[in-house]
Amino acid sequence: MKVRKAVIPAAGLGTRMLPATKTIPKEMLPMVDKPVIQYIIEEAVASGIEDILVVTNRAKSAMDDYFDYHPELEERLLKNGKFKEAEAVRMSADLANIFYVRQKETKGLGHAIWRAKRFVGDEPFAVLLGDDIMMANKPVTKQLVDAAEKYGACAVGTQLVADEAISRYSSLKIQPLPHEDRIFRVSDMNEKPTPEEKFSNYAILGRYVLTSGIFDILEHTPPGYGGEIQLTDGLRTLCKQSPMVAVDFEGRRYDTGNLKGFLEATIDFALTDGEIGPWLRDFIIDKAKGL
Ligand code: UTP
């Protein structure tokens, strides 16, 4: 099982980040010096992915423009001796083979993934949500790919979340696997459960490795929570038909689609940046002293 392809659903409306996302896709908001989606593409590439499909919509063409060449800008930068900037501009267009498909109606994450059917064909593929970024030593997608390959199974990324948070996620029913601390077998799941409905506090968080069997399932999955076609409803069927594991991944996940997650990620990524990090640390310390 070799995972060469990835799908990044990025066609959501971004209603939690308005008014900024009225005209700028939330995936294009700057996180330190790069748009959010570049971190996700870089994680996919660092995990061995070669071809990436971004699911977009009519308001998100800024994404395909960003991953294209900009010869006029590069020429000007080179002429002015701004070699580092020219290199950064070129590099962002050379990261991977990036393809695009539009989700013509915002019918939910499951429907967005279904749009990848022709791109994926019969291969296993990774899914990286377009607004979830990860800070990890080993790329989170690679952690899932390794587990999927080891067990010949689909894989979902998970972490334990607090009691009051699980109702915002999908809750997993899991069983231990011999000699594994962080990988579990998945037998069931439910989307945005009430405290009584939840299986566990293990929530699915933003990363998946799936087989093409999901497409036929999604095609027949009726709208679920919020009137949208939910990926979780499709995965629930898939985990009963074929093996699935959950990987309690090492690393921190940030939901940049809400303001708090976006600010946390901005600060954490800026603090680890060699150039801006030391300045930001001093700035925060000075601010804290003034409180
Ligand atoms: P989210 O629920 O986090 O994003 O979807 P959203 O739909 O933009 O939500 P609000 O408006 O901020 O609450 C999870 C992922 O699924 C994608 C989103 O782009 C995000 O990456 N998505 C969601 C689609 O591609 N299509 C959809 O119809 C819904």
User: Are the C-beta atoms of 59 and 70 separated by less than 8 Å?
Assistant: no
Same domain, 84 and 167: yes
Average pLDDT over residues 173-193: 95
Residue 1 confidence class, pLDDT cut points 50, 70, 90: confident
Residues 242-272 as b/e (b if ≥16 CB within 10 A, e otherwise) read eebbbbbbebebbbbbeeebbeebbeebbee
Same domain, 240 and 290: no
User: Are the C-beta atoms of 235 and 189 separated by less than 8 Å?
Assistant: yes
Report the C-alpha gap between 60 and 191 in whole angstroms. 27
Same domain, 235 and 263: no
Whether 291 has a pLDDT exceeding 90, the answer reads no
Q: Domains in the chain: how many in total? A: 2
Ligand 1 neighbours, Cβ below 6 Å, are: 9-16, 55, 103, 106-109, 111-112, 129-131, 257
pLDDT in tens, 2-24: 899 999 999 999 899 999 999 99
Among residues 76, 130, 69, which one has the least CA distance to residue 103?
Answer: 130
Q: For the chain, what percent of residues have pLDDT higher than 70?
A: 100
pLDDT in tens, 123-144: 999 999 999 999 999 999 999 9
Q: How far away, in angstroms, is 84 Cα from ligand 1 center?
A: 34
Tell me phi and psi for residue 237, to 5 degrees.
-70, -45
Same domain, 26 and 94: yes
Average pLDDT over residues 258-279: 96
Atom of ligand 1 nearest to the CA of 9: 25
Q: How far away, in angstroms, is 11 Cα from ligand 1 center?
A: 6
pLDDT in tens, 37-77: 999 999 999 999 999 999 999 999 999 999 999 999 999 99
Q: For the chain, what percent of residues have pLDDT higher than 90?
A: 95
Same domain, 147 and 74: yes
Would residue 245 be called left, alpha or beta, if left means φ above 0 and alpha means ψ between -120 and 50 degrees? beta
Among residues 187, 170, 202, 172, which one has the least CA distance to residue 237?
Answer: 187
Whether 110 has a pLDDT exceeding 80, the answer reads yes
Same domain, 165 and 274: no
| Residue 139 CA from chain centroid, whole number | 12
Helix, strand, or coil (residue 47): coil
The pLDDT assigned to 14 comes to 87
Same domain, 195 and 280: no
Q: Across the chain, where does the E strand assignment appear?
A: 5-9, 30-31, 34-35, 51-56, 97-102, 125-128, 132-135, 154-160, 170-176, 183-191, 202-210, 244-248, 252-255
161 Cβ contact list (under 8 Å, min separation 6): 169, 201, 203
Same domain, 175 and 280: no
User: Are the C-beta atoms of 235 and 221 separated by less than 8 Å?
Assistant: no
Q: For residues 291 and 17, which has the higher predicted lDDT (pLDDT)?
A: 17
Q: How far away, in angstroms, is 165 Cα from ligand 1 center?
A: 18
Residue 225 confidence class, pLDDT cut points 50, 70, 90: confident
pLDDT in tens, 200-216: 999 999 999 999 999 99
Among residues 288, 109, 285, which one has the least CA distance to residue 208?
Answer: 109
Asked whether the CA dihedral 8, 93, 18, 263 is positive or negative, the reply is positive
Atom of ligand 1 nearest to the CA of 132: 21
Same domain, 219 and 266: no
Residue 224 confidence class, pLDDT cut points 50, 70, 90: confident
DSSP code per residue over 115-139: TTHHHHTTS-EEEE-TTEEEE-SS-
Same domain, 102 and 210: yes
**What's the domain range around 279?**
258-291
Same domain, 263 and 165: no
Q: How far away, in angstroms, is 111 Cα from ligand 1 center?
A: 11
Beta bridge partners of 224: none
Same domain, 160 and 19: yes
